[in-house]
Amino acid sequence: MICYSHDARNRKVSVEKRGGKFYNQFMWFKRFIPIFLVFSLFLGCVTTPITERRSLVLIPFENEVALGEEAYREILKKEKISQDGQLITIVERVGRQLAAVSPMSNLQWEFTLIESEQKNAFALPGGKVAIYTGILPICANEAGLAAVMGHEIAHAIARHGAQRMSQSLILAGLLAGTSISLSDHQDREAIMGALGVGTAVGVTLPFSRNNESEADEIGLILMAKAGYDPREAERFWGRFNKMKQGSRPPEMLSTHPTDTTRIEDIRQLLPKANRIYQTNPLKHGLGQSFLYILSRRKMEQNSKSSPAVPQSGKPTPAPGSH
């Protein structure tokens, strides 16, 4: 039999009292967790520009911008940046005009042209936009590029990346994202994925169908406000659809709307975008064509790669002249 001393019994009673007090405090706090969660969700609701949709964002905007900047620098270190001055000028021109009419025109916008056959483009929080040269032939002209860039810029100004991170925080039981960083972070791949880019070079990840559709709507309005013919957006997605090869999953199993659905949705939005475009005193129409520029580049590359024909002092005899 184990005997306790009087002091030991007193200590035991004291610990039990403290334990009971802590338990009661915890149970009291636990009752208010749902209220605290609802209150936090209410404070986290923001209104998306242009579409006026309400969405949940628990990530502070400053933290979101810092993540976008960090991810952008990391991606560009792995990519080959284009040195084609003419194409860079066009990408900059289209991007600046879209950014100027966006609800976040005061961001530190950057536009980078990446030399790659990837048919991709992306925009990260804080106004960091990248276009891959492989998508330019499908764009065909400045208005087609405006459709692509407007769509990507829309993801940034609608804060779709922050929305996805907020959903992840809720699932993880967290209510604050102020300390999120890519540096030495165990969830860096999840964060990059939420921002819409993968850790592998040249990989962009899809947003939800609702986010993609919202980006189409916002992008269409932006290109009309920037003075580009919004009807080219429908034509661009038609060309993009023809370019795709292989089978595609049913829409209900895909995070992207099918191209036919996307084109039909854009067609429904065109009357509104066209009214904005028609009343806009600044009209670029389709802008400059990429097809001529790219075909000329290809001819120049072929001529450089072709072996030089040796020149002889004597003229080459015509066939049959011997």
- Residues with catalytic function: 152
Sign of CA dihedral 49, 194, 75, 254: negative
Beta strands in the chain (DSSP E): 45-47, 54-56, 110-114, 121-124, 128-132
Q: Which residue spans within 159-220 are E strands per DSSP?
A: none
What is the distance between the alpha carbons of residues 145 and 150, in angstroms, rounded to a whole number? 8
Tell me how many degrees the CA angle 295-95-272 measures, rounded to the nearest 5: 100
Contacts of 102-110 with C-beta under 8 Å, sequence gap 24+, read 102/49, 102/153, 102/157, 102/222, 103/49, 103/50, 103/157, 104/49, 104/156, 104/157, 107/65, 110/72
- Taken in order 246, 252, 253, 256, is the CA torsion positive or negative? positive
- Total number of residues shown for the chain: 322
Q: 98 and 150 in contact (C-beta within 8 Å)?
A: yes
Strand partners, 110: 128
CA separation for the pair 163, 130 (Å, rounded): 21
Q: Which among 149, 123, 150, 120 has a CA at the least distance from the CA of 135? A: 120
